[in-house]
């Protein structure tokens, strides 16, 4: 009888693991999925993008960038940017953990924009409008001197050319690094809105998640027609600050679009995919 012998296995060295490559792969895989801020559902990112960046489970509207907002709201190729030569200045030499100048440079590098506001002329199913759009990715869409100036110029453009004006709000409020100059933008913009309305030119606001602070207290709530996206947080102070101040439990859904609609603070809630057609119908009726 033959004796079976095992051949000695050749000992191979352990494969060198590229840690950085593994980390990048994990991050790449994670980017395929996105968690809904409202219902906490884990969603396939591309499916959300195909649905206009709206949750497929609860219809929460994720924040979108200016370019996406333009592409889904206005006629293709019709948007012509205005007032893009204005840049912010650190006139107070403000510094906390970092200087305002450094924060501006970092925001400009990451967003490839000069500030948190893009303005332009465009058309909606052939109807001419002027529009100002907040970019939340730039320092939380905060209202500073440049943002206020660009909105004011947009409103003046609407008044001078008798063109309906639409402002898309998405902001955490006033920009603290500009102090009282930032707060002055509220009255500056409100005055421009008054002049626009004095000429019977429509002023429409679209409130998206989030719209807070001085933006809500001025331009956001002054629209002839106030539209909001579903589940958007809209208010002055945030709910946590209010709760800690008054020491009481807040109502369910407090400061969300649906709560404000029920209490008469906004006129209509509309899904992002239906917004363009709604704006077109409104404009046809009021111009």
Q: What is the CATH number of the domain that holds 216?
A: 3.90.226.10
Residue 10 inside a domain? The answer is no
Beta 80-82 vs 42-44: how paired, if at all? unpaired
Residue 129 inside a domain? The answer is yes
pTM: 0.86
**Contact predicate 188/143, CB 8 Å:** no
Residue 29 inside a domain? The answer is yes
Q: Print the domain residue range for 282.
A: 64-286
Residue 3 inside a domain? The answer is no
Which pLDDT does position 243 carry in this prediction? 86
**Both 47 and 73 in a single domain?**
no
Q: How many residues does the chain have?
A: 287
- Along the 287 residues of the chain, how does pLDDT read in single tens digits? 444 444 444 444 444 445 455 445 444 555 789 999 889 999 999 999 999 999 999 999 999 999 999 999 999 999 999 999 999 999 999 999 999 999 999 999 999 999 999 999 999 999 999 999 999 999 999 999 999 999 999 999 999 999 999 999 999 999 999 999 999 999 999 999 999 999 999 999 999 999 999 999 999 999 999 999 999 999 998 888 888 898 888 888 889 999 999 999 999 999 999 999 999 999 999 98
**Both 125 and 69 in a single domain?**
yes
Number of structural domains in the chain: 2
**Contact predicate 55/35, CB 8 Å:** no
Return the biggest CA–CA distance within the chain. 110
> Residue 98 and residue 95: Cα distance in Å, rounded?
6
Q: How many CA atoms lie within 13 A of 200 on its CB side?
A: 2
270, 143, 160, 168: which is closest to 223 by C-alpha?
Answer: 168
For residue 83, cis peptide bond before it (omega within 30 degrees of 0): no
């Amino acid at each position: 009888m033959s004796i079976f012998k095992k051949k000695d296995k050749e000992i191979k060295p352990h494969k060198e693991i590229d840690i950085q490559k593994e980390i990048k792969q994990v991050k790449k895989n994670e980017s395929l999925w996105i968690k809904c801020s409202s219902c906490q559902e884990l969603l396939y990112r591309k499916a959300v993008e195909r649905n206009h960046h709206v949750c497929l489970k609860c219809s929460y509207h994720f924040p979108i960038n200016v370019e996406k907002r333009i592409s889904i709201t206005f006629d293709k190729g019709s948007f012509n940017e205005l007032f893009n030569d204005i840049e912010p200045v650190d006139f107070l030499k403000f510094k906390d953990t970092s200087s305002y100048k450094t924060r501006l440079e970092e925001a400009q590098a990451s967003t490839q924009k000069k500030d948190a506001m893009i303005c332009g002329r465009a058309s909606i199913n052939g109807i001419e409008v002027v529009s100002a759009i907040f970019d939340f990715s730039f320092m939380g869409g905060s209202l500073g001197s440049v943002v206020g100036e660009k909105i004011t110029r947009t409103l003046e453009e609407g008044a001078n050319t008798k063109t309906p004006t639409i402002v898309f709000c998405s902001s955490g409020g006033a920009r603290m690094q500009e102090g009282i100059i930032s707060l002055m933008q509220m009255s500056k913009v409100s005055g421009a809105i008054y002049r626009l309305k004095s000429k019977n030119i429509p002023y429409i606001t679209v409130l998206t998640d989030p719209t807070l602070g001085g933006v809500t207290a001025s331009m956001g709530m002054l629209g002839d027609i106030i539209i909001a996206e579903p589940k958007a947080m809209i208010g002055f102070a945030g709910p946590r600050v209010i709760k800690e101040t008054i020491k009481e439990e807040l109502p369910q859904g407090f400061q969300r679009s649906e709560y404000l609609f029920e209490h008469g603070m906004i006129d209509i809630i509309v899904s992002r995919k239906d917004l363009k057609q709604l704006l077109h119908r409104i404009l046809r009726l009021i111009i």
